[in-house]
């Protein structure tokens, strides 16, 4: 039977502050490609000037890169719980 090997990364990350991204929807997606509108929707943005936070992951970074002209992004440190 195969055993799952775990690294200590998840345990050490929980002790330290995690990075999150504060995303503000600053420009309307009207007149832009449908895929960009879908990306804005997938990020959870509905209204202009809406602010949400997402974990700092490569998937979220890629989505933000595609709509960087429509959003403002700030890195925020979140204290460990």
Q: Which residues pair with 55 in a beta bridge?
A: 20
* Domain locations in the chain as residue ranges: 17-78
Residue 81's pLDDT is 63
Sequence-distant (≥ 6) Cβ neighbours of residue 76 within 8 angstroms: 19, 20, 21, 22, 53
Dist CA 5 CA 1 (whole Å): 13
Q: Structure pTM?
A: 0.75
Residue 16's pLDDT is 63
Segment 11-70, tens digit of pLDDT: 445 556 789 999 999 999 999 999 999 999 999 999 999 999 999 999 999 999 999 999
Dist CA 77 CA 81 (whole Å): 12
Return the CATH number of the domain spanning residue range 17-78.
3.30.1390.20
Q: Tell me, what DSSP letter sits at residue 5?
A: P
Residue 78's pLDDT is 79
Residue 18's pLDDT is 87
């Amino acid at each position: 039977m195969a055993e799952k090997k775990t690294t200590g990364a998840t345990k050490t990350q929980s002790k330290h502050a995690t990075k999150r991204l504060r995303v503000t929807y600053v420009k309307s997606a009207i007149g832009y490609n449908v895929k960009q509108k879908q990306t804005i929707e997938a990020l959870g943005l509905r209204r202009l000037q809406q602010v949400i936070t997402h974990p700092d992951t490569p998937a979220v970074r890629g989505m933000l890169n595609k709509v960087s002209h429509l959003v403002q992004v700030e890195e925020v440190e979140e204290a460990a719980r």
